[in-house]
Amino acid sequence: MTDAVITQRGLPAAAVTQRLSRDDWIMRAFVVLVGVWMFVVVLLPLYFMMSKSVQDPDGNFVGLANFREYFATPALSYSIHNSLYIAVISTIITVSLAFVYAYALTRSAMRAKGVFRVIALFPLLAPSLLPAISFVYLFGKQGVITWLLMGNSIYGPIGIVMGEVFYTFPHAMMILIVALATADARIYEAAISLGASKPRIFFTVTLPAIKYGLVSAVFVVFTLVITDFGIPKVIGGQFNVLAVDIYKQVIGQQNFEMGAVVSVVLLIPAVIAFVADRIVQRRQVALITSSSVPYQPKPSALFDRAMFAYCALIAFMILGILGMAVFASFVTFWPYNMSLSLNNYNFDVMDGGGWEAYWNSLRMAGYTALFGTIIIFTGAYMVEKVKGFRLARNVIQFLCMLPMAVPGMVLGLAYIFFFNHPDNPLGVIYGTMTILVIVTIAHFYTVSHLTAMTALKQMDPEFESVSASLKVPVLKTFLKVTVPVCLPAILDISIYLFVNAMTTVSAVIFLYAPETTLASIAALNMDDAGDVAPAAAMCTMIVLACAIVRVLHAAASHGLERTTQAWRKR
């Protein structure tokens, strides 16, 4: 019978290809641009870096000779052991401390939860070398409480681990809070009604529910520690780790090939941790359904007081470490002249870059936040919404995840090899503010991209269909609907980029020029030159800028909710 239909109309079934509309062309052009961008700022530099590791200084291919030399030099290869050792110890301590802290914030009925939560996020506002500088003042040779170390030196593994715990604590805590906050009260009620003891409930209900969050926290902290440069640089003493080795090889000995080899070595654990985390996250299934009842902690005098005491102790230490650096920055000449002054803020009379470096940092962070947010959000939108084009989309999605696995030092070195290559026409940006902005956007691309994706996926997928039916160009709908609706996520991305651009040291350390020195690098260089107090002062200025921007962001978000986001309320 269907045959009859065909013959009646006499039309053979020819495959139909839809003509592309103007919007389709525009979106595809954007997707191609995003692809080219990711290719140039991530993939090509990494390729150049890797090929450098199998070349001699003249650029001839030498196979694995550089790697053989590396592993034959114990002074170098022992750093692998050191880095792993530091990373494992720091991860265990940070995740344990952060777990109890997050547990107190989500599962107890103690007071001042909001305050504790904000204090725990303070380390995010500081460059990683700030805790290291603080520890020099607290536990150094003329430190305030050096006796607590019972004769051990702060310069070495002890100092590094303590610094890393401070630096990574908020990252672990945020992941664990999310994991712990999504609990279904009904499961706990069921466990209690079945007569389970409190320890049994903890091990059979609580832990299984948060295991993915716990695993994620472990991988994130491990990666942050093993790739960190600031803390071991300041307080590591003779204790060598991979990230510092790259710096020493490249800046100290001008041995670029060996720098590339160490980079490849450092890339391995970072990539493994990243891939493992991805695999684990993919296995996570939604534990919370729409019928879930949120868990409400019940007051318990003893437990709440214990949790309060614990959080107070941690918060005191965070504030103490932060406060030590701030205080030290105002002391005229530690420990001989303890009077307070602004002498250490007179950056212009010191080496390192002066106030110019601070203004550079603000500019760099501003540009990164502005252009980074535009590029990342627009890119995410086009990749998410373009019709067809599946291969390009998948490749770009992968490239957007890649920066997460690349340590900042490795990316920075890769940029030297790529952008400083004599045949690269893009070499004109080498040594300018532009390359600093680009490397920072690339370095922090993944988290921002994921934030944008999450926001975009929450939008009604038919907005674009409706606007096509109304003949409204897709770019207009993007600007009039998508951007306003996603404004909270867009602000989150910009603040994330700003704060990270202010505090980062790793990727930019290889790429700054004398006239584009940044505040965090100035602090590092001043510390290197023995000007520890001015370094603390510069760190304080960085914290100040980040804190002000954070407060402005909170105020802006609040204002937004009241005005342009009025539609969110009924």
Partner 1 sequence: MKQDAAIIGRAASGVSANEVEMKARRGMLPEERPEASREVYLRIENLTKKFGDFTALRDVSLDIYDGEFVCFLGPSGCGKTTLLRAIAGLDVQTSGRIEQAGRDISSLPASERDFGIVFQSYALFPNLKVKKNVAYGLENKGLGRQEIRARVAELLELVGLPDQGDKYPAQLSGGQQQRVALARALATSPGLLLLDEPLSALDAKVRAYLRHEIKALQAKLDVTTIMVTHDQEEALTMADRIVVMNHGVIEQVGTPEEIYRHPASPFVGDFIGSMNFLKGRVAGDGRVQIVNHTLETTNMPATVAPGTEVLVCIRPEDIVARNVDGRESNVMDATVHEMEFLGSFYRARLLPGGHASDAIQADFSINLVKDLGVREGGSLRVWLPADRLIVFQER
Q: Which stretch binds partner 1 (CB under 8 A): 331-339, 460-468, 519-527, 554-562?
A: 460-468
Nearest to 352 by CA among 126, 163, 533: 533
- Least separation in angstroms between residue 474's CB and partner 1 is 9
Q: How far apart are CA 140 and CA 237, in angstroms?
A: 12
Query: To 5 degrees, how large is the angle CA 14–CA 18–CA 24?
Result: 165
Taking CB under 8 A as the criterion, the residue among 238, 289, 291, 469 binding partner 1 is 469
Q: Which stretch binds partner 1 (CB under 8 A): 12-20, 105-113, 220-228, 318-326?
A: 12-20
Q: How far apart are CA 122 and CA 319, in angstroms?
A: 8
Site string for partner 1, 482-511 (x = CB under 8 A): --xx--------------------------
Nearer to partner 1 by Cβ, of 104 and 489: the residue is 489
Output b/e per residue, 449-488; b: 16+ Cβ within 10 A: bbbbbebbeebeeebbeebbeeeeebeebbeebbeebbbe
Q: Decide: is 391 part of the binding site for partner 1 (CB under 8 A).
A: no
Q: Decide: is 11 part of the binding site for partner 1 (CB under 8 A).
A: yes
Q: How many residues bind partner 1 (CB under 8 A)?
A: 43
Nearer to partner 1 by Cβ, of 57 and 484: the residue is 484
Helix (H, G, I), strand (E, B) or coil at 564: coil
Q: Decide: is 147 part of the binding site for partner 1 (CB under 8 A).
A: no
Q: How far apart are CA 506 and CA 270, in angstroms?
A: 15
Taking CB under 8 A as the criterion, the residue among 186, 305, 476, 562 binding partner 1 is 476
Q: Decide: is 557 part of the binding site for partner 1 (CB under 8 A).
A: no
Helix (H, G, I), strand (E, B) or coil at 357: helix
Q: Decide: is 18 part of the binding site for partner 1 (CB under 8 A).
A: yes
- Least separation in angstroms between residue 293's CB and partner 1 is 24
Judged on CB neighbours under 10 Å (0-12, 13-18, 19+), 306 is: middle
| Cα atoms in the Cβ-side hemisphere of radius 13 Å centred on 461 | 7
Cis peptide before 170 (omega within 30 of 0): no
Q: How far apart are CA 478 and CA 481, in angstroms?
A: 6
- Least separation in angstroms between residue 483's CB and partner 1 is 9
Q: Decide: is 20 part of the binding site for partner 1 (CB under 8 A).
A: yes
Q: Decide: is 290 part of the binding site for partner 1 (CB under 8 A).
A: no
Taking CB under 8 A as the criterion, the residue among 19, 141, 282, 390 binding partner 1 is 19
Q: Which two tokens stand for residue 293?
A: 């009842």
Q: Decide: is 9 part of the binding site for partner 1 (CB under 8 A).
A: yes
Q: How far apart are CA 511 and CA 437, in angstroms?
A: 10
Q: Which stretch binds partner 1 (CB under 8 A): 164-172, 305-313, 457-465, 504-512?
A: 457-465
- Least separation in angstroms between residue 570's CB and partner 1 is 6
Q: Decide: is 450 part of the binding site for partner 1 (CB under 8 A).
A: no
Q: How far apart are CA 424 and CA 14, in angstroms?
A: 48
Taking CB under 8 A as the criterion, the residue among 6, 118, 207, 288 binding partner 1 is 6
Q: Which amino acid is at 285?
A: V
- Least separation in angstroms between residue 557's CB and partner 1 is 16
Give residues in contact with partner 1 (CB under 8 A): 1-2, 4-6, 9, 11, 13-24, 460, 462-463, 465-473, 476, 480-481, 484-485, 564-570
